[in-house]
């Protein structure tokens, strides 16, 4: 049985797209924690945050992480899942954590090109590029702390998958 693979990174880094491809390449299940949470809550993340607040959403996010963690599963996590110390340690202990790292310009370009995919409410009232830059500055160290491997997510999805598989093979060989 292969350990679960957790994909972490900010909105727009490609966790869902890369995760789907990676799961296919590794003959694994794929779960997106945001999608799973929304289906089980019967409302959008924005709705949960509006009705219950961020703290409740973060608690649901942790419960979702625990619920979907299983062998031979690629798990795309929400961008803020690493904010909780518990979640960072849980992912590191239960599986392999891959940080999909991309520059702010790449993230902003993707978020602007596919606005409907960012189902989360904005974290600030600032322009997108400023928000992404600030959020990444706050979270980059946490993503790195959680990660076993950091890959360049600015490449096309198939190339990112190859980078991940290569990193995993090298880790298994050493």
- The answer to the question of whether 69 is labelled as a binding residue is no
- The answer to the question of whether 17 is labelled as a binding residue is yes
| Pairing label, strands 96-101, 73-76 | unpaired
- The answer to the question of whether 15 is labelled as a binding residue is yes
Which parts of the chain are beta strand (E)? Answer: 5-8, 29-32, 73-76, 96-101, 149-152
For residue 174, how far is the Cα from the chain centroid?
26
* Spatial separation of the C-alpha atoms in residues 110 and 44, rounded to whole Å: 21
- The answer to the question of whether 16 is labelled as a binding residue is yes
- The answer to the question of whether 139 is labelled as a binding residue is yes
* Spatial separation of the C-alpha atoms in residues 36 and 158, rounded to whole Å: 24
Structure tokens at 46: 């924005």
- Spatial contact of 4 and 90, defined as CB atoms under 8 Å apart: no
- The answer to the question of whether 34 is labelled as a binding residue is yes
Give binding residues for substrate as ranges.
34, 58, 79, 139
Give binding residues as ranges.
12-17, 34, 58, 79, 120, 139
Give binding residues for Mg(2+) as ranges.
16
Give binding residues for ATP as ranges.
12-17, 120
């Amino acid at each position: 049985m292969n350990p679960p693979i957790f994909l972490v990174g900010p909105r727009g880094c490609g966790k869902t797209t890369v995760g789907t491809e990676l799961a296919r390449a590794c003959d694994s299940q794929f779960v997106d924690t945001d999608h799973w949470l929304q289906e089980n809550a019967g409302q959008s993340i924005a709705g949960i945050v509006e009705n219950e607040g961020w703290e409740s959403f973060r608690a649901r996010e942790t419960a979702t992480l625990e619920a979907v963690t299983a062998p031979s599963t690629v798990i795309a996590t929400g961008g803020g899942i690493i904010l909780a110390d518990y979640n960072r340690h849980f992912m590191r202990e239960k599986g392999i954590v891959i940080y999909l790292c991309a520059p702010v310009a790449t993230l902003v370009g993707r978020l602007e090109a596919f606005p409907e995919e960012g189902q989360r409410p904005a974290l600030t009232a600032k322009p997108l590029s400023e928000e992404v830059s600030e959020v990444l500055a706050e979270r980059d160290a946490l993503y790195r702390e959680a990660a076993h491997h950091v890959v360049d997510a600015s490449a096309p999805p198939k190339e990112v998958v190859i980078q991940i598989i290569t990193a995993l093979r090298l880790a298994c060989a050493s």
